[in-house]
Amino acid sequence: MGIGLRSGVPLINFLVDHGAIVTAFDQKSLAQLGDVRRALVGKNVEYVLGGDYLAQLEGYDLLFKTPIMRPDLPELERAVSQGSVLTSEIELVFDLAKAPITAVTGSDGKTTTTALIYAILKEAGCEVYLGGNIGQSLIEQVVDIPLSARIVLELSSFQLLPMKQSPMVAVVTNISPNHLDVHKDYAEYIAAKANIWRYQSQDDYIILNYDDEITRAMAVQTAGKVVYFSRLGEVPCGVFVRGRDLWARWLGEERHICDVSGLKLLGGHNIANVAAAAAACLVQGISLDSMARAVTSFTPVEHRLELVREIGGVRYYNDSIASSPTRTVAGLQAIGGDILLIAGGSDKNVPFDDLALAIVDNVRAVALIGATADKIGMAINDAEQKKGKKVKKSNLPTLQAAVLWCQKHAKPGSSVMLSPACASFDMFRDFEDRGRKFKSIVHGL
């Protein structure tokens, strides 16, 4: 239910190749499916398409939902009451995986932390497979992944909401309001994130952010062994920053990992991501030398504070992965200096008050775009009154118009940053679309 190139097509291929009789449901028409339909040419798949596609769910053994689809839709609940089993591609990966799984969730830093764990394990000589909300679907190869390998997954709240399985190593980077346009409320969002550790055994590990009150409180609820990370202070067990150095406290010993000034990643939030990744690998017996080599050579993930180009002394940063206000605030603090910000997107019902205060403190000019432009603008107006200072701002109709407006108002030494603080804007449905569009515009200046 919901057919996409990233997970839907690989799942259909896997099911058909293993003898399942597959029906693909989607609200799009056959013509609108485009590349998806072409990727499935030759596969014995029946299609149910159009706006009422979920009205025909009776009589199926397994229902695989796309992550964004809520599991409590009336059509799904009715089908389940009639005997269908509701599941998903990522749950099937958990069912079939022989190799141990390390999974990462959180409101911010998931992608970078997941990529760092992958890099550390690779540096240590492990056979590693990357998937979930990052990279490619693992469903077509999961049965062939040996027990000796490692699987690293990034998991969103949407993927976690219905899950009743947890990984061997669960990492929670932080929790702040997000995706409240899909979740019923903040409590459900937190509960979904908690599913990453909820079904762990006492032999598993949970890696928690000691600096985040919500994640730190999870320690008393989990059956797994609790290990912390912190960039603000020392922890009882785990990885922390002391001065300018990253330290590990583990099995009764305290050992130095690396000097954080040697990291290529910008910002304090990325130091926290490095500490989280190191802690996740620490519990798997990875050497500190491997950690140090991997994290000090690690370069930013695409679309995360990615320096696109410098033109006339003005730097253009693609931070399109910043789909929450807290991510954007972290980016502003990491870049520093004279900043012109492009922000705005779809409305996820999250507050912009703290973002607006950070904009007034850190940004000279802001180009607002998308459905939340007015909402962010009003929050900035309130913040300006509280701070007693003004920010140049303008609502722009397109991303290209926003880039050109920032170019006009920038000066040598300025940074122009796309950091939307929202899920999407205009016609771009995910961070890769908007990031690539931004880079294309900047390279065309």
Count of C-beta atoms within a 10 Å radius of residue 124? 19
Q: Which pLDDT belongs to residue 34?
A: 87
pLDDT for 93-103, tens place per residue?
A: 999 999 999 99
Q: Which two tokens stand for residue 272?
A: 């926290």
In the predicted structure, residue 438 carries a pLDDT above the cut 80: yes
Three-state DSSP class for residue 172? strand
Three-state DSSP class for residue 347? coil
**Considering the chain, what is the average pLDDT of its residues?**
92
DSSP one-letter string for 130-164: EEESSSS--TTTGGGS-TTSEEEEE--HHHHTT--
Q: Which two tokens stand for residue 400?
A: 């290209």
Count of C-beta atoms within a 10 Å radius of residue 336? 11
H or E stretch including 119?
helix 110-123
Handedness of CA 177, 181, 186, 191 (dihedral sign): negative
Q: Please state the rounded mean pLDDT for residues 14-43.
A: 92
Q: Please state the rounded mean pLDDT for residues 336-365.
A: 92
pLDDT for 207-250, tens place per residue?
A: 999 999 999 999 999 999 999 999 999 999 999 999 999 999 99
* pTM for this predicted structure: 0.79
Q: Please state the rounded mean pLDDT for residues 28-50.
A: 90
Phi, psi of 10 (to 5 degrees): -60, -40
pLDDT for 360-394, tens place per residue?
A: 999 999 999 998 999 999 999 999 999 999 999 99
Question: pLDDT class for 281, splitting at 50, 70, 90?
Answer: very high
Q: Which pLDDT belongs to residue 439?
A: 93
* CA R_g for the chain: 22
pLDDT for 50-94, tens place per residue?
A: 989 999 898 999 999 998 899 999 999 999 999 999 999 999 999
DSSP one-letter string for 44-110: -EEEEESTTGGGG-TT-SEEE--TTS-TT-HHHHHHHHTTPEEE-HHHHHHHH--S-EEEEE-SSSH
Distance CA 164, CA 149 (A): 23
Q: Which pLDDT belongs to residue 428?
A: 44
